[in-house]
Chain A
Amino acid sequence: MNRLFKALCVIVTVLLSLFVAVALCNVFVGAPAELVHALRDPALRQVVEVSLLTSLIAAGLAMLLGTPVAYVLARRRFFGKAAVETLLDLPVALPPMVAGLALLVLVSPTSPFGHVLNGMGVHLIFTQAGIVLAQLFVALPFYIRAVRSAITAIPPSIPAAAALLRATEAYTFFHVILPLSREGIISGFVMCWTRALGEFGATAMVAGCIPGVTETLPIAIYTRATAGDLAFAGAAALCLALVSFATLIGLRLAFSDGEERRRA
């Protein structure tokens, strides 16, 4: 029975790994010459630039806005906290198309908010700023979750000790809480960034697909594949996969040192 269980575990692991490898290889090694040609296409470079620029801005904004939110959720008790947490988590469970539609309605010139934005000269529909908004909306909960967990993991005696050593709450936040949440902040940033980089539904709803302006990697994969340009779609997919792979490797390397220390 025990042997059968062990064998089954190994077989399932091997089969799943093979399935992922074969599925990815099919995309990337279909026609190597065409793929290489597509990789050199200036249009692809533009798509990569738009994707990297917007997703990095979205992740940066998530860091700026999400860190104080995560701190409040981790350290404070207040009336309606559960409702606020659920609300902030909602974009994770919400289908991206629904999130996109909600944002589209919110920022469209016919809505009061969109009207105010238009009056201030801020245009979010069919613009790169719209992409950032959509990516931020969908990816922010990932950042907040990671940082909140990191802050919650700090023993309560640590900030208490800081307060009793004359540190104000702001001083403690910058000199104790943030440094001790470093791993959570980095992994939250990376998770948020990769989620933003791969965002499709909400981005397509808000920013559409204007080549060279609002065409991101996931949108390019969809539009080019449905138009029959599988080489370009494959090249765009390769770029996304490489970023994801490099990110995973980077995270593992960055945190392996800390894990070793914890085990010791």
Chain B
Amino acid sequence: MIRLEHLDKRFGDRSVLRDVSLDVPRGEFGILFGPSGVGKTLLLSILAGLEVPTAGRVLLNGCDMARVPPERRPVTMVFQRHALFPHLTVFENVAFSLRARGLHGPAVKRRVNELLELTGLETFAELKPDVLSGGQCQRVAFVRALASDAEVILFDEPLNSLDAHLKTALMLELKRLHQAKQFTALYVTHSVKEAVELGDRVYMLEDGTVSRTCRPGELPVHGEKA
């Protein structure tokens, strides 16, 4: 599970996050909801260990992450622009985390093929990211995150640059993957539709703090199309 306790982040005199506390229970799909520029991505970076909080604690599965570097946290992230390794094929991108942990040979092949089949990406295995569409890249990024076996997956507006049709398809896919793998998720978005479709619980971030926690159905609808 994810627990943030009284988290602050300041850059010089500028306070970006103030007294942020939240709990995402194990296996739940949490939505971090709020307008652009309120510090949603920064909060994910702190959770991932890419940024250090000025004050407060990050606990993952009950363990304080203060001195734990990103590669040793039980967490991975799907970035807004997928951040696939451009020099590696789809297969090698998915296998990256397995190889980084010292796995080699048939075990890697079996696991990667299983994940690629789960998402219908097996025909793209030998292609490099530069020939894939935006939607395909993001699907590879989902699978790559699953291959890391992280208990917590952070999503930084992963569907932002995609068209409405593709968004709907990928939301369904993500929902299916979450049901199949039961990971704990924290998903950053400013889209009500995404929050309602995917989330179990919504944390509204306003003015650098969590102003409200609610069920997705309680979110105000502003006539959003996609």
Instruction: Assess whether A165 is in contact with B87, with CB atoms less than 8 Å apart.
Output: no
Q: Which of B5-13, B26-34, B72-80 contacts A (4 or more CB under 8 A)?
A: B72-80
Q: Residue B50 at the A interface, CB < 8 A?
A: yes
Contact with A along B143-184 (1 / 0, CB 8 A): 011011010000000000000000000000000000000000
Q: Residue A29 at the B interface, CB < 8 A?
A: no
- The one of B48, B71, B73, B145 in contact with A168, judged by C-beta atoms closer than 8 angstroms, is B71
Q: Residue B83 at the A interface, CB < 8 A?
A: yes
Instruction: Assess whether B87 is in contact with A180, with CB atoms less than 8 Å apart.
Output: yes
Q: Which residue of B lies closest to A165 (CB)?
A: B97
Cβ of A176: which chain B residues have Cβ within 8 Å of it?
85, 87
Q: Residue B62 at the A interface, CB < 8 A?
A: no
Cβ of B145: which chain A residues have Cβ within 8 Å of it?
165
Contact with A along B65-99 (1 / 0, CB 8 A): 00001111101110101011111000000001101
With A171-B100, A176-B85 known as contacts, the answer to whether A164 contacts B144 (CB < 8 A) is no
Q: Which residue of A lies closest to B94 (CB)?
A: A165
Task: Count chain B residues whose beta carbon lies closer than 8 angstroms to a beta carbon of A.
Answer: 29
CB < 8 Å A-B pair total: 69
Smallest CB–CB gap between A28 and chain B, Å? 42
How far apart sit A6 and B58, CA to CA, in the bound complex (Å)? Answer: 63
Instruction: Assess whether A164 is in contact with B100, with CB atoms less than 8 Å apart.
Output: no
- The one of B76, B84, B86 in contact with A164, judged by C-beta atoms closer than 8 angstroms, is B76
Q: Residue B101 at the A interface, CB < 8 A?
A: yes
Q: Residue B197 at the A interface, CB < 8 A?
A: no
Instruction: Assess whether A166 is in contact with B79, with CB atoms less than 8 Å apart.
Output: no
Instruction: Assess whether B83 is in contact with A167, with CB atoms less than 8 Å apart.
Output: no
Q: Which of A40-48, A77-85, A114-122, A154-162 contacts B (4 or more CB under 8 A)?
A: A154-162
How far apart sit A58 and B145, CA to CA, in the bound complex (Å)? Answer: 43
How far apart sit A175 and B71, CA to CA, in the bound complex (Å)? Answer: 15
Instruction: Assess whether A165 is in contact with B148, with CB atoms less than 8 Å apart.
Output: yes
Q: Residue A250 at the B interface, CB < 8 A?
A: no
Smallest CB–CB gap between A257 and chain B, Å? 13
Q: Residue B126 at the A interface, CB < 8 A?
A: no
Smallest CB–CB gap between A38 and chain B, Å? 46
Smallest CB–CB gap between B5 and chain A, Å? 22
How far apart sit A169 and B69, CA to CA, in the bound complex (Å)? Answer: 10
- The one of B48, B87, B148 in contact with A166, judged by C-beta atoms closer than 8 angstroms, is B148
Instruction: Assess whether B70 is in contact with A160, with CB atoms less than 8 Å apart.
Output: yes
Cβ of B69: which chain A residues have Cβ within 8 Å of it?
163
How far apart sit A163 and B72, CA to CA, in the bound complex (Å)? Answer: 9
- The one of B76, B77, B85 in contact with A158, judged by C-beta atoms closer than 8 angstroms, is B85
Smallest CB–CB gap between A238 and chain B, Å? 39
Cβ of A165: which chain B residues have Cβ within 8 Å of it?
76, 96-97, 100, 144-145, 147-148
Cβ of A166: which chain B residues have Cβ within 8 Å of it?
71-72, 97, 100-101, 148
Q: Residue A3 at the B interface, CB < 8 A?
A: no
* Chain A residues packing against B (C-beta within 8 Å): 155, 157-158, 160-169, 171, 175-176, 179-180, 182, 261
Q: List 18 A-B contacts (CB under 8 A).
A: A155-B81, A157-B79, A157-B81, A160-B70, A161-B84, A162-B100, A164-B71, A164-B77, A165-B76, A166-B72, A166-B100, A167-B96, A167-B97, A168-B71, A168-B100, A171-B100, A175-B96, A261-B130
* Chain B residues packing against A (C-beta within 8 Å): 48-50, 69-73, 75-77, 79, 81, 83-87, 96-97, 99-101, 130, 144-145, 147-148, 150
